[in-house]
Amino acid sequence: MARSTQVTPLGPATPTLPSFSLNFEKSWVHVLVGYASFLLGICIVLLLSMDTVVNNWSINDFVGDGYAFLTPIATVQSAEELNNQYNFASNWGLNELSKVGYWMVNSSVNAFVTKSNSIFVVSVGWFPMASGSQDQCKIFQTSYPLDLSQTPNPRLALASNLVTYYRGNALTHYFSNDRTVNVATAPISSSGLDDLGYTPGRIGVDMRLTTKIPLVNTSSPQEIDVTFYKFYPKSICTGCSTVTELGFGHCNLTFIYNDTTKRVKITNSNNILGTTYKFGLLIPQSLFSSASHYVKVIAIIFAVGGFLASRRTAMWLEVDRNKTDSILAKILRMILPKYFPYPSHALRFDMFCYNSDIFSIFPTSNEYL
Ligand X SMILES: *[C@@H]1O[C@H](CO)[C@@H](O)[C@H](O)[C@H]1NC(C)=O
Nearer to ligand X, 113 or 314 (CB): 113
Considering the rule CB under 6 A, would residue 322 count as an interface residue with ligand X?
yes
Nearer to ligand X, 103 or 165 (CB): 103
Considering the rule CB under 6 A, would residue 116 count as an interface residue with ligand X?
no
Using alpha carbons, select from 245, 244, 247 the residue that is nearest to residue 276.
Answer: 247
Nearer to ligand X, 131 or 219 (CB): 219
CB 283 within 8 A of CB 242: no
Considering the rule CB under 6 A, would residue 106 count as an interface residue with ligand X?
yes
Using alpha carbons, select from 113, 164, 111, 159 the residue that is nearest to residue 284.
Answer: 111
Cα–Cα distance for residue pair 247/258, rounded to 1 Å? 30
Site for ligand X in 124-143 (CB under 6 A): none
What long-range pairs does 186-190 form, CB within 8 A, spacing at least 24?
190/163
* One of 90, 116, 142, 252 touching ligand X (CB under 6 A): 252
Considering the rule CB under 6 A, would residue 110 count as an interface residue with ligand X?
yes
Cα–Cα distance for residue pair 237/108, rounded to 1 Å? 16
Pairing of strands 276-284, 199-210: unpaired
Nearer to ligand X, 142 or 254 (CB): 254
User: How near is the Cβ of 77 to ligand X at its closest, in Å?
Assistant: 6
Distances in Å between the Cα of 71 and the Cα atoms of 159, 287, 317 are 17, 29, 67
Region of 289 on the Ramachandran plot (φ > 0 left; ψ -120 to 50 alpha; else beta) = alpha
Nearer to ligand X, 195 or 318 (CB): 318
- Cα torsion 40, 45, 48, 54 to 10°: value is -120
Cα–Cα distance for residue pair 42/22, rounded to 1 Å? 27
* One of 49, 153, 261, 355 touching ligand X (CB under 6 A): 261
Considering the rule CB under 6 A, would residue 223 count as an interface residue with ligand X?
yes
User: How near is the Cβ of 148 to ligand X at its closest, in Å?
Assistant: 5
Q: Which stretch in 34-42, 173-181, 255-263, 335-343 sits in contact with ligand X by CB under 6 A? A: 255-263
Nearer to ligand X, 264 or 281 (CB): 264
* One of 151, 222, 268, 289 touching ligand X (CB under 6 A): 268
User: How near is the Cβ of 202 to ligand X at its closest, in Å?
Assistant: 22
Considering the rule CB under 6 A, would residue 320 count as an interface residue with ligand X?
yes
Nearer to ligand X, 73 or 353 (CB): 73
Site for ligand X in 72-101 (CB under 6 A): 78, 80
Considering the rule CB under 6 A, would residue 267 count as an interface residue with ligand X?
no
Give the total of residues touching ligand X (CB under 6 A).
Answer: 20
User: How near is the Cβ of 104 to ligand X at its closest, in Å?
Assistant: 11
Binding site for ligand X (CB under 6 A): 78, 80, 106, 110, 148-149, 217, 219, 223, 252, 254, 258-261, 268, 270, 272, 320, 322
